Every structure is written in C-alpha cells, then in structure tokens.
Amino acid sequence: MTTNADTRRVLTDTDSFVFPVDVSRRATTGAQPVLPRLRPDQVARGLATFGSELALACAAWEGGAEAEAMTVLRAPVARSTTDAVLGPLATRDRDRVAELVLAWVDSLGPVIAADRPPARWSRVRRAERRARQGLEGALADLHVERPPVAAVELAAGVQVPIAAGAWLLVLLAEHPEAAELAREHGLAAEVAWEVLRLRPPTWVSARMTTRDVTVGEGRVPAHAVVLVSPLLLGLDDAHVPPGTSHPEEFDPARWSGTDVRPGAWLPFGAGPHACPGRSLGLAQLTALARWALGRRVTLVTPARIDQTRGIFPSPARLRCLPGPSPVEE
C-alpha cells in the first residue's frame, strides 16, 4: 500500500485483512484480542520509571565509555513499560518481570529472523517456548489477568521502543548540526517524531486478505499478503510540511512552527490494532531526546541497519560526553 488512505483501509477493515501470524510466527487462530490504550496514569508511571532508570543506566556511560545503543536502553525501557502496563509493582517483582520480558524478546529474535517459521521442536522454538512460559508463569504468580495476552503486550512494548530509542541516539550522533539546532530551540518532541518518520522500527507490517477486495484502484485476491509500511509513507512529500527540506533529510526543525501534525505515515499503525502504547512510546522517546540533547552523543564507528526483526541499528557503538547545557522542558 503506497498511500495513507489505502494503508488505513487495510489496518481498519479487520474483516477483510487479518494478521497472517502472531508475534512468534505461529498461525493466528480467530480474531486477535483488542487491547485498550494505556491510560494517562499508566503513561505517567512508565515515564517516571523511564527517567530514573535512564539516569541509572547512563551514569557510567556518560563519563565517555563506549556503549551499544540497543544495550543502554534495555533496562530503562523494559522497566518503564512493565511499570506502566502492570504497576504499581514492588521493585523486585518489576525488575524480575522486565528481565523475563527481555529474555523472551531475545529468544524471539532467531524465530523472527529465520527464513521460514522454525519447526515446533527445533532448538530455537524450544528456547522461545521456555522463555515465554517463564514470563507467563511469573505473571500468573503476580495474579496478572490473562498472562499470555499481558506477555505479548509487554514484549511488543519493549523491543520496538528500544529500537526507536537506539535510532534516536544514532540519528542525533550522525547529524550534529540538526542536533544543535534542536538543542537550541528545545525540539525534543520534534526529534522523536522525525526519528519515527525516518526509522520506524516496525517499518513494514503484513496482513492477509480473507476475500477478494478492492483497495484504491487495485483488486487484491483472497489469501494474498498485503504489506503496509510507515517507512515508505514517511518518505512521501505528502507527509512532511510543505517547503521543508527533502523527506530523506533528518530535520526535526521541520515540525516546529507548522500546522501540519506529524504522524500521517502511521508509525503506530491505525484501526483497532493500532499501538495501545503509543502515548508511552512517544513520551519515552521525547524524554530520551531531551536527555540526549543535553549531552554530546557521538558514534565510534558508522552505524548499520539490521533488518532481521523490524529495523534497529547494529552495530551502533556510541560515546556520551557532557553537553553544553541542559534542555528546557
């Protein structure tokens, strides 16, 4: 799908377009549960945790040591999302669940990256099953309702924001002039949106048609795979403010002083299965941007795109030094 309208149609018409597989590449059975959006109090709790955990995780790194972008953000994001979705929890329980979520997310990596869905008794599938059961068991012990659903919600809310945050650090490091401009004008939210435009971690999503359907000008037969891509839409002139730099440029300032609201490229999806954690994801990214703009983050070697599960930067070795001044709220 190459337009906002056709993409919305695919994501919204859930009778005609269904998920072909679930998060661990098993064939889906029946309608997928629709999750409620995180409430403002959940977002506020997750954001508070993100701030304190980011400060902790980065204390050593800020002295000039090298760190991998995806690693630095693991604990802050996992604990923040766990607190938002399940909290308030005792710190020990929260940290244990966050660790188990990360373990499941890690075990899903080779399942998602494999050319074909791995067989039921393959080594990677068994490891993934063990990790998932460990997480679901811990959730049941905490009396969380519907542990399998909560486990998916947590996993979806950890891997993607870690990747988005890693891209944020990388793009700021790659574009010191844009970073300086953003710092001077306090454009943290604009940085977050520009990162989600140029490097949406979920760069492509698939649906399968249940019947012959007409979308826009074209006919799609039943049982065909349809792809939607926020990455593709975000590079379209139609989705950036007119008169601003080329859509391929990283230019957070394009979003300041304009009536055009960011997001027409649908980085959080649309319809009943749009991201229920979008307010938290955006809040985490904006807080990270504010933190990074107050420092000098540099790349040790050029970062590369890994597209084995969504897109994330790897390797992306960064160094962080004190910056000129903190960024205003």
Q: Which residues bind ligand HEM (CB under 6 A)?
A: 11, 32, 34-35, 38, 81, 85, 153, 156-157, 160-161, 164, 196, 200-202, 205, 267-269, 273, 275-277, 280-281, 285
Bridge partners, 317 (sequence order): 68
Minimum CB distance to ligand HEM smaller for 167 or for 240: 167
State the Cα–Cα distance between residues 251 and 246, nearest whole angstrom: 9
Query: Residues 201, 269: contact at Cβ < 8 Å?
Result: no
Q: How far is the CB of 274 from ligand HEM (least distance, A)?
A: 6
Provide CB contacts within 8 A for 46, sequence distance 6+: 38, 80, 81, 83, 84, 85, 87, 280, 283, 284
Minimum CB distance to ligand HEM smaller for 33 or for 137: 33
Bridge partners, 211 (sequence order): none
> Chain-centre distance of CA 279, in angstroms?
12
Minimum CB distance to ligand HEM smaller for 28 or for 325: 28
- Angstrom distances, CA of residue 168 to CA of 119, 183, 291: 36, 14, 11
Q: How far is the CB of 266 from ligand HEM (least distance, A)?
A: 7
Q: How far is the CB of 160 from ligand HEM (least distance, A)?
A: 4
Minimum CB distance to ligand HEM smaller for 38 or for 318: 38
Tokens of 133: 């059961």
DSSP 31: P
Q: How far is the CB of 23 from ligand HEM (least distance, A)?
A: 8
Q: How far is the CB of 302 from ligand HEM (least distance, A)?
A: 24
Q: Pinpoint the alpha helices (H) of the chain.
A: 4-12, 40-58, 69-72, 74-86, 91-113, 123-141, 147-174, 176-185, 188-198, 230-234, 278-293
Q: How far is the CB of 136 from ligand HEM (least distance, A)?
A: 15
Minimum CB distance to ligand HEM smaller for 235 or for 300: 235
User: What percent helix, strand, coil does the chain show, rounded to 5?
Assistant: 50, 10, 35
State the Cα–Cα distance between residues 71 and 162, nearest whole angstrom: 9
Q: How far is the CB of 64 from ligand HEM (least distance, A)?
A: 28
Residue written as token pair 């990360």: 102
Minimum CB distance to ligand HEM smaller for 119 or for 225: 225
Minimum CB distance to ligand HEM smaller for 118 or for 267: 267
